[in-house]
Amino acid sequence: MEALKQADSNIVIWLNQWVGEYRVLDQVVEVVVSDYFTPVTLALSLLWLWFATRDPGKRMTTQRAVITAIASLAIANLVVLMMNDFYFRPRPFTEMQLNLLFYRPTDSSFPANPAALSFAIAFSILQTRRGAGAILLGIAAIWSLSRVYAGVFYLSDVAAGAAIGVTTVLCMNFLLRWLDPVPTAVLRVGKALHLA
């Protein structure tokens, strides 16, 4: 366990040493790392995917993936919140001298909630729309790693968050198959209201 903590610290220190060296990189990371840019991008991507396909069969499959993504991110968020009640890990900037590109969050560093949510969305879409899913996985990875670079998460926090996101999607796939009338009813209501 001590070796993992040391490796985590070394990675954060190594990445964070570049903060302030390249102004353009810092400006890009400040946008990406924020609580707004990436979540809005992910939300707009889900909205676009909901309406993007004209083929009725593909559209229904994609819309089911969007429903899975939304349900999975809600459950992943709940899992992270429950884990935070039982385990608190201080943020890297509280234990090391780092150059911050972000505000100082006070909640637990482990697991990384942004990673859990973004990977839940990306992995849900990846299962039915490979291209869009790969792009969303890239966005999730960049968002998560930018927070390590900015000094607010350790790499293991991000890895654990990503694992929670992916696991939640796998569980949600099983659950939604078992509760099949629910997503079908949501899609029927959406079609009746011209929203699906």
Q: Return the higher-pLDDT residue of 156 and 193.
A: 156
- Token pair, residue 191, equals 């079609």
Task: Find the mean pLDDT for residues 26-48.
Answer: 94
* pLDDT at residue number 28: 92
* pLDDT at residue number 195: 65
Task: Find the mean pLDDT for residues 107-131.
Answer: 95
Q: Return the higher-pLDDT residue of 7 and 182.
A: 7
Amino acid at 2: E
The span from the CA of 113 to the CA of 73, in Å, is 10
* pLDDT at residue number 192: 66
The span from the CA of 51 to the CA of 19, in Å, is 40
* pLDDT at residue number 194: 61
Task: Find the mean pLDDT for residues 87-102.
Answer: 90
* pLDDT at residue number 52: 84
* pLDDT at residue number 3: 84
The span from the CA of 109 to the CA of 92, in Å, is 8
- Token pair, residue 24, equals 């353009």
* pLDDT at residue number 103: 85
Question: Residue 196: pLDDT above 70?
Answer: no
Q: List, in order of start, the domains of the chain with CATH numbers.
A: 2-192 (1.20.144.10)
| Contact call for residues 123 and 152 (beta carbons, < 8 A) | no
Task: Find the mean pLDDT for residues 168-192.
Answer: 80
Mean model confidence pLDDT for the chain: 90
* pLDDT at residue number 115: 97
Q: What percent of the chain has pLDDT over 90?
A: 65
